[in-house]
Amino acid sequence: MCGIVGIVSSNTNVVPLLVRSLKRLEYRGYDSAGFAFIIEGKLVVLKDKGYIDHVVKKYNVLSLYSNIGIAHTRWATHGQPSKINAHPHTDCKGLIAVVHNGIISNYLELKRQLEEKGHVFKSETDTEVIAHILEEYIIGEGLTPLQALHKLVKILKGTYAVALLYANTPNRIYFAKNVSPLILAVSPTYGLLSSDIPSLIEYSRKIVVVEDGEYGFVEPGNIVLYKDGRPVNWRPRIHVVNWSVADIEKAGYPHFMLKEIMEQPRALYDTYSGILADENVVRAAKLIVESSKVFVTGAGTSYHAGLTATYYFARVANQLPHAFISSEAELYADLASEDTVLIAISQSGETIDTLKAVRLFKKRGAKIIAISNVIGSAIPREADITVYTRAGPEIGVAATKTYLTQILVLQHIAFHVGFLRGLYSESELKNYIKLLGQAPKAVEQSLQRASPHINRLAMRLHREEHMYILGRLLGAFLALEAALKIKEVSYIHAEAYPAGESKHGPIALVHQGFPTIFIGTPPAHIVEKIASNIEEMMSRGAFTVLIGLSCYEDVKANFKLLLGPCDEYLAPYYIMPALQLLAYRLAVLRGYDPDKPRNLAKTVTVE
Ligand code: M6R
C-alpha cells in the first residue's frame, strides 16, 4: 500500500542508502516509484511508472550525490500508474516535495479551494493537495514547516504517512501521520523514517513508532516529535528490534517467497520458544474463558489462520468462536458488548480492515487479543493483549511463514482455554504443548519429502486455468489458504470449498482432465468420505490429486502425496508447506514473479 522512506545525514551521500531502503519496501507496491533530493539548495525530483530498478536506471539515480532524500514506491489508489501520478509531488514553486502512503478522503474539497487560490495541479492524485497546502502555509503565510504541519493535520481527513522535503531546510525531513504506518529510527548520524522496519534495519534497530496525529522532523542524529503544538518525548517509546540484515535479504534464494517457505522451521521454532515464555498466552486464554462471546477476525491468510483456529477451539476447548472477514466487521460488531472478546489476527498489524474491526469492537466495550508479527504495529497498540508470532520479517507478498506461526499461537491459546475449562489435566496440557513443539520438524520433513513431487505436479498443472481444492473440516480451511496462495501468485483460478459440496453444484464444471486437489486431513472417519468424493470426481474424468497424511494410504487418486502421520494438531505443518511450494512453482513455471503479484501489495492500509 505504498512505501515511503527518508534519510538525511550531515556528511554522507544518502542516495545509495535510499535506493536500498526503498527496494526493501517494494513489497508494499510497485507500479511506480520516485525520489526527491536536495542538491545544491534545489529540489531534484525523479519519478516514473514501473519498478524501482527501472526508475533508478532511467535517471542514473546512483550517480547523484545528496545528503538528504525521500522516496516512494506506489500502489495506485487515486490516479492510474503513470509518471505524473508517481510520487513525490511538488507545490507550484518546486520548493516542497511530498511522498505519501494512505488516502486523503477530503482531497477533492481541498483541491477545489486551492485551485480557487490559483494553485495548479499536475497529477490526479489525492497526495498533491498536501504539497499545495504546505505552500500556502509556509510560503504564503510565512509559517515555519512545523507550524504548517500542525495546521495541516487539523484539516487533512483520511489516512496518511507523509514525508516531505522543503528546499530551504536542507537538513530536515518533515513528517506527519494518521492511521498509515510510520516509523522513525534512532541513530547518532542519520535522520531516518520509513513505512516499515526492514528498510531501516541496516542503519538502526532502535525504532520509534509514530502515533496518530503526531508530526515533526528528523535531522542527522536527532528526532523532533510534536502533537497538538506540543513536543512529545519519544525516548521512552524506543523499541529495539532483533531482526538482522540477513533476515531481510534473499540469502541466495531466487525469491523471498521461496526463502520464507523454507525458513518456516526456524520461524516456528522461534515462535514456539517465545510462546513458552510468554505469559500473554495464558492471559489471553483467561480472557476468553471469562467472556461469553468470542469472535476471530483477519483478512486473507490471517482470516484463514483464524478459521483454522476455530477448528482447534472446537476440538480442544469445547467452544466455537465465530470467524469473520475483517472488512465485514460491522455486522458482527453490533453483537459485541463488554463480555465479548475479539481475536484480531494480522501479521503486519496494520491492515486497515482489521484495525477498523478492532475499533468497532472496542467501541462496544469488547476486549481485544491481537496476534501479530510486528512489534508496536497499530493493532497490537490498540489491543488489550498481544501474542506475537516470531516469524521474522515477511517480505514476500504471499503470506507463508506468518500463517503457520499464527496457527501455532492460536493452537496454544486453544489448549490453554481447554485446560482452564477443566477439560483435561495439567499433565495432559503439557503433553499437548510438547506435541506442538514438533511443528518445526514436521515442516522440515514435509518440505524435504514434498519438493521433488511438487515439481512434477506443478509441471502437470501449470498450463491449467482453473482448479478445485477440496477438503473436509480442517482440510476445508487449509484448502482456502492453498487456493488463495495459488491464485495470488500464479493467477490460476483456484476455488476452495468443502468436499461434500461438489454434488450441490460445482461438479457441473468438471470435465476430462479438470484438476481437483483434495486435502487429506484427520479425523480418520472422514477418510472414507474423502475417498468417495475423489471417486466421484475421477468418474467424471477429473485429474485428482491427494495431498494429505498417512491415514489416506489406501485412498486412490491420480497423483498422491502423503506427508506425515495422521495427527490433527500437526496436520497444517505437514500439509501446508507442500501447497505453498506448489503455488510458488506454478508461478515460476508460468513466468511470473511470485514476490510481486500484479495488483497486490503486502500490507493493505486502504479500505
Ligand atoms: O498483514 P495481515 O496479516 O493483516 O494481511 C492480511 C492480508 O492482506 C494478507 O494475508 C494477504 O491476503 C496476503 N497477500 C496473503 O498471501
pLDDT for res 229 = 95
CA distances from 495 to 138, 159, 278, 478 (A): 54, 34, 38, 12
Q: What would the grid cell of residue 405 be? A: 506461526
- What angle (nearest 5°) sits at the alpha carbon of residue 441, between those of residues 438 and 443? 110
Provide the percentage of residues in the chain whose pLDDT is more than 90.
88
User: 3-248 with 250-437: one CATH topology?
Assistant: no
Cis check for the bond before 88: say yes or no (omega within 30 of 0). yes
Q: For residue 430, report the distance from its CA to the centre of ligand 1, in Å.
A: 32
Q: Is 352 helix (H, G, I), strand (E, B) or coil?
A: helix
Q: What's 328's DSSP letter?
A: G
Ligand 1 atom with the shortest distance to the CA of 304 = 10
- Which amino acid is present at 166? Y
Q: For residue 370, report the distance from its CA to the centre of ligand 1, in Å.
A: 15
Q: For residue 481, report the distance from its CA to the centre of ligand 1, in Å.
A: 11
The number of CA neighbours under 13 Å toward the Cβ of 205 is: 7
Provide the percentage of residues in the chain whose pLDDT is more than 70.
100
Kindly state which CATH superfamily the domain 453-607 is placed in. Answer: Glucose-6-phosphate isomerase like protein; domain 1 (3.40.50.10490)
Query: Which residue lies with its CA nearest to atom 4 of ligand 1?
Result: 346
Query: Which residue lies with its CA nearest to atom 1 of ligand 1?
Result: 348
Q: Is the CB of 299 under 6 A from ligand 1?
A: yes
pLDDT for res 187 = 97
CB within 8 Å of 492: residues ≥ 6 apart: 461, 464, 465, 466, 467, 486, 586, 590
Instruction: State the first-to-last Cα distance of the chain, in angstroms, to the nearest integer.
Output: 11
> Where does the pLDDT of residue 118 fall: very low under 50, low under 70, confident under 90, or very high at 90 and above?
very high
Order of strands, sheet of 3-9, starting from the edge strand that comes earlier in the sequence: 42-49, 32-39, 68-74, 3-9, 190-194, 183-185, 206-209, 239-240
Q: Is the CB of 389 under 6 A from ligand 1?
A: no
> Residue 141: pLDDT above 80?
yes
Q: Which of 351, 382, 481 to mutate to test the pocket of ligand 1 (most atoms within 8 A of CB)?
A: 351
CB within 8 Å of 539: residues ≥ 6 apart: none
The third-level CATH classification (topology) of the domain covering 250-437 is Rossmann fold (3.40.50)
Q: Is the CB of 446 under 6 A from ligand 1?
A: no
Q: Which of 603, 605, 606 to mutate to test the pocket of ligand 1 (most atoms within 8 A of CB)?
A: 603
* Cα four-point dihedral sign 156, 161, 167, 169: positive
> Residue 423: pLDDT above 70?
yes
* Whole-number Å distance between alpha carbons of 494 and 483: 5
Q: Render pLDDT for 337-366 as a digit per residue (tens, 0 to 9).
A: 999 999 999 999 999 999 999 999 999 999
Ligand 1 atom with the shortest distance to the CA of 347 = 3
Class of the CATH domain delimited by 3-248: alpha beta
The model's pTM is 0.81
Q: Considering the chain, what is the average pLDDT of its residues?
A: 95
Query: Which residue lies with its CA nearest to atom 11 of ligand 1?
Result: 300
Q: For residue 300, report the distance from its CA to the centre of ligand 1, in Å.
A: 5
* Whole-number Å distance between alpha carbons of 380 and 345: 10
Q: For residue 17, report the distance from its CA to the centre of ligand 1, in Å.
A: 28
Ligand 1 atom with the shortest distance to the CA of 301 = 10
The domain limits of the chain are: 3-248, 250-437, 453-607
* Whole-number Å distance between alpha carbons of 373 and 529: 37
Q: For residue 51, report the distance from its CA to the centre of ligand 1, in Å.
A: 22
> Where does the pLDDT of residue 75 fall: very low under 50, low under 70, confident under 90, or very high at 90 and above?
confident
Q: Which of 261, 307, 325, 347 to mutate to test the pocket of ligand 1 (most atoms within 8 A of CB)?
A: 347
Beta strand segments in 88-171, E: 89-90, 96-104, 158-166
* Whole-number Å distance between alpha carbons of 464 and 508: 18
> Residue 44: pLDDT above 90?
yes
> Where does the pLDDT of residue 320 fall: very low under 50, low under 70, confident under 90, or very high at 90 and above?
very high
Q: For residue 457, report the distance from its CA to the centre of ligand 1, in Å.
A: 26
pLDDT for res 514 = 97
Q: Which residue has the cell 477451539?
A: 313
Q: Render pLDDT for 488-532 as a digit per residue (tens, 0 to 9).
A: 999 999 999 999 999 898 998 999 999 999 999 999 999 999 999
The stretch 390-413 carries a mean pLDDT of: 95
pLDDT for res 168 = 97
Ligand 1 atom with the shortest distance to the CA of 398 = 16
> Where does the pLDDT of residue 1 fall: very low under 50, low under 70, confident under 90, or very high at 90 and above?
low
Cis check for the bond before 254: say yes or no (omega within 30 of 0). no
Query: Which residue lies with its CA nearest to atom 2 of ligand 1?
Result: 346
Q: Is the CB of 583 under 6 A from ligand 1?
A: no
Ligand 1 atom with the shortest distance to the CA of 300 = 12
> Where does the pLDDT of residue 539 fall: very low under 50, low under 70, confident under 90, or very high at 90 and above?
very high
Q: Render pLDDT for 180-238 as a digit per residue (tens, 0 to 9).
A: 889 999 999 999 999 988 899 999 999 999 999 999 999 999 999 999 999 999 999 99
Ligand 1 atom with the shortest distance to the CA of 299 = 6
Q: Is the CB of 300 under 6 A from ligand 1?
A: yes
Q: What would the grid cell of residue 462 be? A: 501449470
Q: Which of 28, 297, 301 to mutate to test the pocket of ligand 1 (most atoms within 8 A of CB)?
A: 301
* Whole-number Å distance between alpha carbons of 417 and 413: 6
Q: Is 92 a catalytic residue?
A: no
Q: Is the CB of 488 under 6 A from ligand 1?
A: yes
Helix, strand, coil distribution of the chain in percent, nearest 5: 45, 25, 35
Q: For residue 299, report the distance from its CA to the centre of ligand 1, in Å.
A: 6
Q: For residue 348, report the distance from its CA to the centre of ligand 1, in Å.
A: 8
Q: Is the CB of 351 under 6 A from ligand 1?
A: yes
Q: Is the CB of 399 under 6 A from ligand 1?
A: yes
